[in-house]
Structure 1
Amino acid sequence: MTKNNLLRMDNVGIVVANLDETISFFQELGLQLEGRAMIEGEWSGRVTGLKDQSVEIAMMVTPDGNSRLELCKYIRPEVIEDHRNAPINALGYLRVMFAVADIDNTLERLYKHGAQLVEEVVNYQDIYRLCYIRSPEGILIGIAEQLK
């Protein structure tokens, strides 16, 4: 008998304030909108522990179809904490990393959508050029271009 029943990671979820703006940002990065839906009702509250919740979600998928990002905008209950400007070493902080073909072109396009470079683009041992950016929502995103 095997201990490992894990099949895959289905998605990473991020709570956002402006769903339309965030969808547009991730579409510019290269993800595709797979679908949008309202999630509410007694069953959903039993999963999250938020009871009477109403959440609009958008599922974004990478071009290869293997990775998904679930963007969530809570209508009810109100968001009670905001961790968007926490430093990267804050406990429980989330960062999403994407591989890109051309980091300079990607940055140029994302700057037009309000992205901000956290510090600088670095060369890691001539294997990757990579950096962290913040989306207009303040989401920390890593992007990396493989050099070899």
Structure 2
Amino acid sequence: MTLQRMDNVGIVVDDLDAAVAFFTELGMEVEGKAQIEGLFADQAVGLDGVRSDIAMMRTPDGHGKLELAQYHTPAAIGDGSHNPPPNTLGLHRVMFAVDDIDDTIARLRPHGAELIGEVAQYKDIYRLCYLRGPSGIILALAEQIG
């Protein structure tokens, strides 16, 4: 048996509506929303009494997906205020290719996006940056310029 594809990246958030608004402004589309609970959920994630709300977001090309999850029980660990640096072990960031990096940053700022560093240019090929979004999520943006 071989790997078929990467299906999605799951991100736990403390405010699902804010995260959906943020990723919608980025250009993703809501594919669906659901409440997840019951024995199958407990078994799949290895927790007891799981009750969460999820939103599946997809990129406009239909290939990339994020599953945003807000846990009601058991409560998510952490308060969303701890913002580890980009070199912290674990999931590093999610990167998106955009047409206009400056416009994208401007549209995401009202949704809480903050630049971690600054917009940098790699040769005459890309403009790149890291942003921190809802629940401390690190998002990278890349604009191809050459």
Note the 1:69-148 alignment, pairs <5 A. Answer: 69-81=66-78, 84-148=82-146
Q: Per-residue CA shift, 1:126-145, capped at 9, x if unaligned?
A: 11000000113221000000
Q: Is the 8 A contact 2:26 2:104 kept in 1?
A: yes
**1-side partners of 2:76 and 2:130: how far apart?**
25
Q: Is the 8 A contact 2:13 2:134 kept in 1?
A: no
For 1:52, which of 49, 52, 74 is the aligned residue?
A: 49
Q: Per-residue CA shift, 1:55-77, capped at 9, x if unaligned?
A: 10000000000010000000100
**1-side partners of 2:6 and 2:30: how far apart?**
18
When the two structures are aligned, how many residues end up with a matched partner? 145
Structure-2-length-normalised TM-score:
0.94
Partner secondary structure for residue 137 of structure 1: helix
Percent identical residues? 54
For 1:62, which of 59, 77, 83 is the aligned residue?
A: 59
Q: Tell me which amino acid in the other structure corresponds to 2:41.
A: S
Structure 1's unaligned 5+ residue stretches are none
Structure-1-length-normalised TM-score:
0.93
Give the deviation of 1:52 after TM superposition: 1.4
* Segments ≥4 residues shifted beyond 4 Å: none
**1-side partners of 2:100 and 2:124: how far apart?**
15
Greater alpha carbon shift after TM alignment, 97-106 vs 136-145: 136-145
Give the deviation of 1:51 after TM superposition: 2.2
Give the deviation of 1:80 after TM superposition: 2.1
Q: Tell me which amino acid in the other structure corresponds to 1:57.
A: I
Q: Tell me which amino acid in the other structure corresponds to 1:145.
A: E
Q: Tell me which amino acid in the other structure corresponds to 2:139.
A: I
Q: Is the 8 A contact 1:86 1:93 kept in 2?
A: no
Partner of 1:38: 35
